Amino acid sequence: MWLSLIAMLLTVMMVNVGSAPAVKTTLYITPNRLPEHPGTLGHVGDEYYMSVNIEEVTDLYGVGFTIQFAPYGKTLTISDISEGDFLSQGGYQTAMAYKINVFAGTVKVGITRLYEVPGATGSGTVLTFKFTVSEAGSSPITLEDVKLVDSNLNLIDYVTSDSYFYGATANLIRCNMPGGLHVYVGQEATFNIKVKNDGDVPLYVKGRLEIERVEDGRRINLYAGQTYYGGYLGADPPMTELFCDGYYEYDDTWDHYGASPWLDEIDGDIINSTTAGAFSSMYTFADIEFPYLGIYDVVNNVDFYGYTRQSDTAGDIDPYAFTVSDGIEYGWMWTDSMGGTTSWAWTGLRYYKNVYNFPEYYGFPLTHDGVNNAEIGFEYYGSSGPVFEIDAVKMRVEFATIVPVEGDIVEVQPGEQVELPVITWVAVGDHIGKYNAQVVIEYSELYPEVGYHFTNTGEKVKTFFFWVEE
């Protein structure tokens, strides 16, 4: 019975089966502000002990509510949740359950007396908990979805009183487009963002434009200090595929069939091996002339793929990359697996697709030299006997349409107003349309320490429209 009741309290689905007399019952959070002293702000690492109290209640048998605070684990984290002594007054048994949702910034709580006993009467503490400040920002702390029931399972009328956490915040002063809201193909649009640190400690601030084309819903995010060079709006990045153009012997224990360089295209000129631990020749790739297509000059990602076939899929073809950039050698970087099937197919990123970008995870330099000096060799990874075959190999190079890849971070002192670095949009033909732009301010107390993150809150947002036209 009590399990059913507490489940109803937690999910806030209690149905009123009667009508309890109205009383002046208040469920409230104390303290009603954090930090308690007006004019002071909380900072990373501060801890605050709080409670949910009830005042002037009669015959309270069970209570369910949600504490709502800053979402996504930003600003505040909750812990040390314990039942207060109010519902257990008189020595009666109780049960409590709770569920924390860090993403939503909530904790759902249900507490009830057990068995057929009267409810608690008077005032006291229902719940205690602790908040730890995890980042900059402010946050309301509210009671939502409250249900109070008496020993006859009638709902009890109530009012609530909430709390608020005051932390260091940065605020958006304005965002404008000096050249006007109408941008023409071939022109550059600029966006200027101005912010203010309303806190009492230095804050590390970024400005972000979340842009959506009204006609088709394509989206793109731009940060202060970045330039968008056009094309591929919200779609796949520009890329090219480079095929093998040569090789040289390196501890070669793979066999070769057909004409050199073997792996330049799908043509039946293959290499294969049946020996565990065998390593192939080193294969080179065609170079790229930068900027690619006269536009793209920043490499954003590199991956390797092979056209492979295996008589036994229990083993792998493991490619290892080697390159030189700025005179520094980067050797023997595992680039995931080209382990394939018993039919010919392009394979690659067998294990880490959408988790890591290989081989950057192992330090492949995303530079002009890094791409143009790249070589690759193959290891037979499995038991001797099965046939591992490769007919072609390619290097997929993706380019950044937004540079630099990371936006600028600006240190802003307490009370200071700062113009963030300009955002630039180079308008091209496939940009034509109407755009909804939302400005978001991100800020942190912790940068440049390891593990820093930025926070943003609703009041730090502004929206406007602009147009790209012929």
Q: What are the distances in angstroms from CA 383 to CA 387, 388, 434?
A: 10, 11, 59
Query: Contact, 27 vs 87, CB < 8 A?
Result: no
Query: Contact, 378 vs 391, CB < 8 A?
Result: no
The string of DSSP letters for 174-214 reads EEE-TT-SEEETT-EEEEEEEEEE-SSS-EEEEEEEEEEET
Query: Contact, 433 vs 220, CB < 8 A?
Result: no
Query: Contact, 5 vs 62, CB < 8 A?
Result: yes
Domains annotated for the chain, with CATH where assigned, are 2-165 (2.60.40.680), 170-235+402-469 (2.60.40.10), 239-399 (2.60.120)
The string of DSSP letters for 357-383 reads -TTGGGT---SHHHHHT-EEEEEEES-
Q: What are phi and psi of 372, to 5 degrees?
A: -75, -15
Q: What is the CA radius of gyration of the chain?
A: 31
Residue 349: the pLDDT is 82
- pTM for the full predicted model: 0.75
Residue 451: the pLDDT is 63
Query: What's the average pLDDT block by block, 10 residues per block, for the chain (470 residues)?
Result: 53 46 82 95 96 96 96 90 95 95 95 95 97 94 96 94 96 93 94 96 94 93 92 80 91 86 94 93 94 89 93 90 95 88 90 76 91 95 92 94 90 97 93 94 83 62 92
Residue 9: the pLDDT is 55
Residue 15: the pLDDT is 44
Q: Is 430 helix (H, G, I), strand (E, B) or coil?
A: helix
Residue 174: the pLDDT is 92
Distance, in Å, from the CA atom of 47 to the CA atom of 390, rounded to the nearest integer, reads 59
Buried/exposed 59-85: b ≥16 CB within 10 Å, e otherwise:
bbbbbbbbbbbbbeebbbbbeeeebbe
Look up tokens 């006997």; give the residue: 385
Beta strands in 250-387 (DSSP E): 255-257, 270-273, 282-285, 299-310, 316-325, 328-334, 345-347, 375-381
